[in-house]
Amino acid sequence: MKRVLAGLSIAALASLAAQSVASDSVNVDELATGLSHPWGMAFLPDGRMVITERTGTMRLYSPDEGVSEPLTGVPNVDAVNQGGLLDITLDPNFAENQTLYFCYSKPGQDGNSSSVAKAELRNNALHNVQNIFTAQPLVDNGFHFGCRLAFDRQQHLFITLGDRYKYMDEAQNTDNHFGKIVRVHTDGSAPDDNPFIEGDAPEIYSYGHRNVQGLTVHPETGKVWAMEHGPKGGDEVNLLEKGANYGWPVITYGIDYDGDIISDKTHKEGMKQPVLYWDPSIAPSGMVFYDGEPFADWQGDLLVGALKFTHLRRIEMEQGAPGDQHEYLKDRKERIRDVDVGPDGYIYLLTDAPDGKLLKLSPAEKQ
- pLDDT (0 to 100) of residue 366: 66
Does residue 5 sit within a domain?
Answer: no
- Whether residue 236 is predicted with pLDDT greater than 80 in this model: the reply is yes
- pLDDT (0 to 100) of residue 171: 98
Q: How far, CA to CA in Å, does 275 sit from each of 8, 64, 319?
A: 12, 41, 12
Does residue 298 sit within a domain?
Answer: yes
- Whether residue 168 is predicted with pLDDT greater than 50 in this model: the reply is yes
Does residue 2 sit within a domain?
Answer: no
**91: nearest Cα among 52, 139, 127, 42:** 42
Does residue 4 sit within a domain?
Answer: no
Q: For the purposes of burial, counting CB atoms within 10 Å of the CB of 177, is it exposed (0-12), middle (13-18) or buried (19 or more)?
A: buried
Look up the pTM and report it: 0.95
Give phi and psi for 259, each to the nearest 5.
Answer: 95, -10
Rounded distance, CA 78 to CA 349, Å?
Answer: 25
Please write the tens of the pLDDT for every residue from 66-97: 999 999 999 999 999 999 999 999 999 999 99
- Percent of the chain at pLDDT exceeding 90: 92
The number of distinct structural domains making up the chain is: 1
What's the rounded mean pLDDT across residues 253-280? 95
**Selected catalytic residue, list 37, 127, 144, 177:** 144
Does residue 103 sit within a domain?
Answer: yes
Residue pair 322/314 in contact (Cβ under 8 Å)? The answer is: no
Average pLDDT over the chain, rounded to whole? 94
Q: How far, CA to CA in Å, does 192 sit from each of 107, 112, 131, 136, 157?
A: 30, 28, 21, 20, 14
Whether 185 is catalytic is: no
Region class of 98: left (phi > 0), else alpha (psi between -120 and 50), else beta: left
Domain of residue 148: give its range: 10-362
Does residue 24 sit within a domain?
Answer: yes
Q: What is the 3-state secondary structure (H, E, C) of the chain?
A: CCCECCCCCHHHHHHCCCEECCHHHEEEEEEEEEECCEEEEEECCCCCEEEEECCCEEEEEECCCEECCCCECCCCCCCCCCCCEEEEEECCCHHHHCEEEEEEEEEECCEEEEEEEEEEEECCEEEEEEEEEECCCCECCCCCCEEEEEECCCCCEEEEECCCCCCHHHHHCCCCCCCEEEEECCCCCCCCCCCCCCCCCCCEEEECCCEEEEEEECCCCCCEEEEEECCECCEEEEECCCCCECCCCCCCCCECCCCCCCCCCCCCCCCCCCCEEECCCCCEEEEEECCCCCCHHHCCCEEEEECCCCEEEEEEEECCEEEEEEEECHHHCCCEEEEEECCCCCEEEEECCCCEEEEEEEECCCC
Does residue 218 sit within a domain?
Answer: yes
Residue pair 57/35 in contact (Cβ under 8 Å)? The answer is: no
- Whether residue 244 is predicted with pLDDT greater than 70 in this model: the reply is yes
For residue 98, give the CATH number of its domain.
2.120.10.30
Query: Which amino acid is present at 65?
Result: E
Does residue 367 sit within a domain?
Answer: no
- pLDDT (0 to 100) of residue 4: 37
- Whether residue 30 is predicted with pLDDT greater than 50 in this model: the reply is yes
Please write the tens of the pLDDT for every residue from 339-351: 999 999 999 999 9
**204: nearest Cα among 169, 240, 231:** 240
Please write the tens of the pLDDT for every residue from 10-24: 443 443 457 777 667
DSSP strand pairing (111-122 vs 99-108): antiparallel
Please write the tens of the pLDDT for every residue from 109-129: 989 999 999 999 999 999 999
Handedness of CA 65, 74, 96, 92 (dihedral sign): positive
CA angle 347, 299, 279 (to 5 degrees): 75
